[in-house]
């Protein structure tokens, strides 16, 4: 196999999708269900899926990301089972980055101690806002006080490598309330921040309300101002804006697992709705716990889609992902034709990209149109 994945320098990452949430947030497009009675069947499915891939050359990983859904809903026995299954099937390098997502309401000293015992060394806490009214609007189950308490527990249990998820760009949020949330979050000294702009996906309650005109949204200009303010403010406070929505307190705090997605390093996704990538091929699992369990029980894979990228598709994908990051793209991927060179000159003079050596990177203004940049270099 001469795929770039399996040598030691470039090990794949492992993602595990926990498909359970206590309640559904109206803006969320991730797959999850609120019926936790399927946890046992899901764990059996995970065991079978891990077995399939462990026999296929996916053996060693240098990152683990347990996401969802709400992974912190898994009780200690559930987590112990899951970690046992992963350790039986796969191996992890000694300094592997191991992240788990948590809801502030679930944080307890005993759960944190268990995480440590399992080798989890990075936490991602879904806070979204520290304004009680905004949290009610987003229908989060925690309060701002609850989030503060959760962070105190995280810090007192010795976790320093923790990330906070925040959300901005929804109607009713003001520059003042957002600045207050950011300031208070910075006082916690997180290693990493993810600041997501609210997107209204069609399949979500908020998406439907927006289509029916029952939910106001910010104008593009307001969204642009929030984005620029966030980037400048966090950079002034020592964070590296290393991806459109992600900020790290120094290069060493960058999410190693998520970088694999943007750098097209292979990763394996386990669980319903999980996506995988290996060299030139992508595949993804069904978005149903029931189907996932049934298929695996019948000895079948839960995969419902697969694509093999042509070299031009792979090049465009490399640009699409690369232009989302500070690391940017390789100049050879965009200027093989004279039209590419002209476009690069234009974008550089208008402050959309900058380049150093062979890397072409988006500026803040480039981040704002990151999704459109690759199209400007499609030959």
Residues lying near ligand SF4 in the complex (CB under 6 A) are found at 21, 24-25, 28, 30, 32, 68-70, 126
Residue whose CB is nearest to ligand SF4 in the complex, by number: 28
Whose Cβ is closer to ligand SF4: residue 21's or residue 191's?
Answer: 21
Whose Cβ is closer to ligand SF4: residue 125's or residue 329's?
Answer: 125
> Residue 226 Cβ, how far from ligand SF4 at the closest point, in Å?
20
> Residue 69 Cβ, how far from ligand SF4 at the closest point, in Å?
5
Whose Cβ is closer to ligand SF4: residue 4's or residue 205's?
Answer: 205
Whose Cβ is closer to ligand SF4: residue 124's or residue 325's?
Answer: 124
> Residue 21 Cβ, how far from ligand SF4 at the closest point, in Å?
3
C-alpha 199/C-alpha 197 separation (Å) is 6
DSSP-derived letter for residue 189 is -
Whose Cβ is closer to ligand SF4: residue 111's or residue 353's?
Answer: 111
Nearest CA to 210 out of 222, 220, 202 is that of 202
> Residue 17 Cβ, how far from ligand SF4 at the closest point, in Å?
10
> Residue 53 Cβ, how far from ligand SF4 at the closest point, in Å?
24
As beta bridge partners, residue 360 has 329, 355
Beta 329-330 vs 240-243: how paired, if at all?
unpaired
C-alpha 149/C-alpha 144 separation (Å) is 9
Helix, strand, or coil (residue 127): strand
On the 0-12 / 13-18 / 19+ scale of CB atoms within 10 A, 301 is middle
Do 261 and 267 touch, CB atoms closer than 8 A? yes
What does each C-alpha distance from 53 to 58, 155, 286 come to in angstroms? 6, 36, 17
On the 0-12 / 13-18 / 19+ scale of CB atoms within 10 A, 198 is middle
Whose Cβ is closer to ligand SF4: residue 68's or residue 340's?
Answer: 68
> Residue 109 Cβ, how far from ligand SF4 at the closest point, in Å?
22
């Amino acid at each position: 196999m001469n795929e770039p994945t399996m040598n030691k320098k470039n090990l794949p990452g492992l993602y595990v999708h926990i498909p359970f949430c206590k309640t559904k947030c109206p803006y969320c497009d991730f797959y999850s269900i609120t019926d936790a009675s399927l946890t046992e069947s899901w764990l059996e499915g995970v065991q079978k899926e891990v077995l399939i891939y462990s026999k296929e050359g996916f053996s060693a990983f240098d990152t683990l990301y347990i996401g969802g859904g709400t992974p912190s809903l898994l009780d200690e026995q559930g987590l112990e089972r899951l970690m046992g299954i992963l350790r039986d099937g796969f191996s992890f390098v000694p300094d592997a980055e191991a992240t788990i997502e948590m809801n502030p309401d679930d944080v307890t000293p005993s759960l944190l101690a268990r995480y440590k015992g399992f080798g989890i060394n990075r936490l991602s806490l879904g806070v979204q806002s520290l304004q009680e009214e905004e949290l009610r609007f987003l229908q989060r189950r925690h309060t701002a006080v609850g989030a503060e308490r959760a962070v105190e527990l995280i810090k007192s249990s010795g976790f320093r490598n923790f990330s906070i998820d925040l959300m901005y760009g929804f109607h009713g949020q003001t520059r003042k309330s957002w600045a207050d949330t950011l300031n208070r979050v910075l006082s916690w000294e997180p290693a990493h921040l993810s600041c997501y702009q609210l997107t209204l996906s069609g399949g979500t309650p908020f998406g439907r309300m927006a289509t029916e005109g029952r939910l106001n949204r910010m104008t593009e200009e307001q969204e642009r101002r929030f984005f620029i303010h966030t980037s400048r403010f966090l950079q002034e406070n020592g964070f590296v804006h290393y991806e459109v929505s992600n900020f790290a307190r120094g290069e060493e705090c960058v999410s190693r697992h998520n970088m694999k997605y943007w750098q097209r390093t292979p990763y394996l996704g386990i669980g319903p709705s999980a996506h995988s990538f290996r060299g030139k091929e992508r595949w993804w699992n069904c978005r149903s716990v029931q189907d996932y369990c049934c298929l695996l029980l019948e000895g079948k894979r839960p995969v419902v889609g697969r694509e093999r990228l042509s070299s031009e598709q792979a090049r465009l994908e490399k640009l699409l992902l690369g232009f989302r990051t500070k690391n940017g793209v390789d100049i050879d991927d965009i200027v093989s034709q004279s039209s590419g060179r002209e476009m690069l000159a234009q974008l550089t003079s208008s402050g959309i990209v900058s380049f150093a050596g062979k890397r072409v990177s988006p500026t803040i203004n480039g981040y704002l149109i990151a999704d459109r940049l690759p199209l400007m270099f499609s030959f």
